[in-house]
């Protein structure tokens, strides 16, 4: 009877482990299979590649931030991925935020500070749409979590443009053909290509490199607590394993006398 309980505890542990440790399977968007990439942060011990995160921030700053906000992120959050206080101050100081009112009751602009949220490219949705042919560039803070199989989907999307729509497909004015966007017509022109940025760390900026770096950065932005959560999960598993082991030993000791 006790042996059975022990076994079922063990198998329950194994199931918990298996479920939490499997990575995402192939998902489809609009019936199209999304190519699966290898990401450093998947798997039980996965962490974000720090160099890729830095490059990803550079891509966001130099490219995506021209249209997309990152509303949930503050400059000081960058400390979590290894940016120093001075680096963060310098990054924030490149932007201006509205503050106030001052003693005269006037609103004013000042340099952004580490505690400020990432500054949005547009003052409001109408301004954003007006600059984008009527389409709204969505906030990217939670994009990787908001889309099914998000990291692979965004990577595929950024690499999924066709120069011309297939025969028989009429593109509307200002739209591009994308293999992975639902409905295939997207209001975002291809945002990157080879050498679109010049990396500060000297990494060759192929389109593949740029797109995988920005996805890594956005995956961290959407789930900054991921590494902590994994560490805690691992500690819990080890703890449960030890407890199971000790209880089993105790059980044997007690039952040895009763037989
Ligand atoms: C010139 C403006 C512009 C730039 C630059 C830009 N985007 Fe977009 N993006 C848009 C617009 C507009 C949409 C909305 C498209 C639509 O709804 O058809 C969009 C949509 C998206 C979506 C949502 C797709 C979906 O499934 O709904 C993602 C993800 C995205 N962009 C990522 C990026 C990334 C990453 C970059 C930087 C490498 C970037 N964008 C640069 C304008 C831009």
Calculate ∠ Cα 230-232-233, nearest 5°: 60
Reported as a single tens digit per residue, the pLDDT across 62-113 is 999 999 999 999 999 999 999 999 999 999 999 999 999 999 999 999 999 9
Please tell me the distance between residue 142's alpha carbon and the centre of ligand 1 in angstroms: 13
- CA dist 210 and 149 (Å) reads 19
Pick the CATH number of 2-73+117-258 from 1.10.274.10, 3.30.390.50, 3.50.50.60, 1.10.760.10: 1.10.760.10
Whether the predicted pLDDT of 258 surpasses 90:
no
Give the mean model confidence (pLDDT) for residues 210-223.
Answer: 98
Cβ of residue 91 lying under 6 Å from some atom of ligand 1: no
Residue 168 CA to ligand 1 centre (angstroms): 25
Return all residues near 225 (Cβ < 8 A) that are at least 6 apart: none
Nearest protein CA to atom 40 of ligand 1, as residue: 64
- pLDDT at site 257: 82
- Backbone φ, ψ for residue 33 (5° rounding): -70, 135
Using a 6 Å cutoff on CB, does residue 191 contact ligand 1?
yes
Lowest-confidence segment of 14-18, 58-62, 97-101, 137-141 by average pLDDT: 14-18
Q: What is the structure's pLDDT at 13?
A: 61
Nearest CA to ligand 1 atom 42: 188
């Amino acid at each position: 009877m006790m042996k059975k309980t022990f076994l079922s505890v063990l198998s329950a542990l194994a199931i918990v482990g298996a479920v939490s440790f499997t990575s995402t399977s192939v998902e489809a968007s609009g019936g199209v299979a999304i190519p699966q990439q290898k990401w450093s942060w998947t798997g039980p011990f996965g962490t974000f590649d720090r160099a890729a995160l830095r490059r990803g921030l550079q891509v966001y700053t130099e490219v995506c931030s021209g249209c997309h906000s990152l509303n949930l992120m503050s400059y000081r959050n960058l400390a979590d991925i290894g940016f120093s206080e001075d680096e963060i101050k310098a990054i924030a100081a490149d932007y201006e935020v509205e503050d106030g009112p001052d003693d005269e009751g006037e609103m004013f602009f000042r340099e952004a500070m580490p505690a400020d949220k990432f500054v949005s490219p547009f003052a409001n949705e109408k301004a954003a749409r007006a600059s984008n042919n009527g389409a709204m560039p969505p906030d990217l803070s939670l994009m990787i979590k908001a889309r099914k199989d998000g990291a692979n989907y965004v990577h595929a999307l950024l690499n999924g443009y066709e120069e011309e729509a297939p025969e028989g497909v009429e593109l509307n004015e200002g739209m591009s053909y994308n293999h992975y966007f639902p409905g295939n017509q997207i209001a975002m022109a291809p945002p990157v290509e080879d050498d679109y940025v010049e990396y500060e760390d000297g990494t060759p900026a192929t389109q593949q490199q740029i797109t995988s770096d920005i996805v890594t950065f956005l995956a961290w932005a959407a789930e900054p607590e991921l590494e902590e959560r994994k560490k805690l999960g691992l500690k819990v598993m080890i703890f449960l394993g030890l407890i199971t082991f000790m209880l089993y030993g105790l059980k044997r000791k007690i039952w040895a006398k009763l037989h």
